[in-house]
Amino acid sequence: MRTWQSKALHFDIHGRITIRVDAKAPSATQLQSMLACFATDTERSADIVVDAGPEPMPDAGLLEHELAYTGNSVRFQADRVQIVRDAEQWRIHGPGELLTSVVPVLDVAMVGRGAGMIHAATMAYRGHAIALPAAGGPVRRAPPPS
């Protein structure tokens, strides 16, 4: 495990999962915006660490040109994203957009702590909460009328 040396952004997801994002990582601005409601000044040991620099993967197996893998890590070659899992934390490394890697890791980490995430709208109706699940992916707009 590497030591943390640069300034970081800290997020606390409902007291269950903590995330530390290297403030200099290319994805920091995007993650800061997406996780803004969970931002905290409290520095704690992070369950998920996000930064730009990959970890060495000696003796990694290769799956053609698609990915390299070890017992606890995978590097997706085309996306230049590495995900490492050990007993203490998840580490996500890459030089570009990492939100699409952080969200599924955050989801599995939350499930491991007894909570799950859904993409949904919520509303209250007659004293009850209603969740309206939504599909993921890009928003598709109907074509304009002709």
pLDDT, position 28? 92
* Structural domain of 14: 8-133
Asked, for residue 144, whether it belongs to a domain, the answer is no
Question: Model-level pTM?
Answer: 0.77
Q: What is the pLDDT of residues 24-51, one digit of tens each?
A: 988 899 999 999 999 999 888 999 999 9
Q: Rounded to whole angstroms, how far apart are CA atoms 111 and 105? A: 10
Nearest to 35 by CA among 11, 68, 4: 11
For residue 13, the one-letter residue type is I
Q: Rounded to whole angstroms, how far apart are CA atoms 85 and 65? A: 22
Nearest to 79 by CA among 57, 101, 59: 101
Please say whether the beta carbons of 90 and 49 come within 8 A.
Answer: yes
Total domains, the chain: 1
Q: Which residues pair with 92 in a beta bridge?
A: 50, 83
pLDDT above 60 for 65: yes
Q: What percent of the chain has pLDDT over 90?
A: 51
Asked, for residue 141, whether it belongs to a domain, the answer is no
Asked, for residue 1, whether it belongs to a domain, the answer is no
Distances 60 to 68, 71, 93, 141 between C-alpha atoms, Å:
6, 9, 16, 43
